[in-house]
Amino acid sequence: MDTLVSVSWLAEHLHDKNIVVADCRFVLGNPDKGREEYEADHIPGAVYFDLEKDLSAPKAEHGGRHPWPDADTFADKLGRAGIDNDTLVVLYDDQKGAMAARAYWVLRYVGHRNAALLDGGYEAWKEAGHSITKEIPERLPATYIPHVQKDWLCGVEDIRRNLGLGEDGAVLIDSRACNRYTGEAETIDPIGGHIPGAVNYDWQAIVDEKGFLKSETALRQRFAELPRDREIIVYCGSGVTACANLFVLERLGYKNAKLYAGSWSDWISYPENEKAKGAR
């Protein structure tokens, strides 16, 4: 099964028994907005995954703005949504795939292999003229057994160890906009800049202006300089948009890419951690 599906494919298979569609819309700074939009209209049969309530753990002193969710807690939520280990989960949002990609990576973390993003998201679905509804589905509960893939994540200690390894260490990718990476215009976190040694690959460059994933050729060119024989650790502000880059790296065949789950907002929660500014 491809990890990216078109709106025409989903329209054809929307009522297949083994498919659950998940709406992942969420607006940073307005945490109720996504659910309100879901309740107003959504793809028929879609359940709702909230970034902060379903795809994150409660905030603490460390762990970033969107701490990584507990696997058993998330598995319980999957079961209540009627999702078992064999269900195909199709994820969408209206933020060019960023929130849906976070859900995708959490699913990967609990061992789910049968998940896909809707190319173009909710806007593409509506522009194609497919049906929408405000009806909230009632799904029969299922049992989800997590098989946690711990190697898909990194923590602050992993990053600290890596900083002293030079060319023998992992490649650090910062997925935020360039002006946040350089520290020129931090719009969310209290401190600007990046982790020393990180290179900037703004996640928004993987999609076109309408939110469709760019061609494989364009994406291979985008990441052409990334080595396949070194570990790659991807981060962003809080471990959300980094997942969009990780989604693409997986599609391009990279087997060595991980997420720094707490990302920049976790890194700066430790005053002793070094912060860099500027283009490198």
Please identify every residue annotated as catalytic.
236
Q: Of 35, 211, 28, 47, give the one whose Cα is nearest residue 122.
A: 211
Q: Of 150, 147, 51, give the one whose Cα is nearest residue 100.
A: 51
Q: Of 10, 33, 32, give the one whose Cα is nearest residue 21.
A: 10
Element (H, E) at 181: helix 178-181
Question: How long is the chain?
Answer: 280
Element (H, E) at 245: helix 242-251
Q: Where are the beta strands (DSSP E) in the chain?
A: 4-5, 19-23, 47-48, 88-92, 115-118, 153-154, 171-174, 199-200, 232-235, 257-260
| Rg value, the chain, Cα | 18
Q: Within 10 A of 279 (CB to CB), how many other CB atoms are there?
A: 10
DSSP string computed for 121-174: HHHHHHHTT---B-PPP------------GGGEE-HHHHHHHHTSGGGSPEEEE
Q: Of 248, 178, 252, give the one whose Cα is nearest residue 213.
A: 248
- Distance between CA atoms of residues 136 and 12, nearest Å: 21
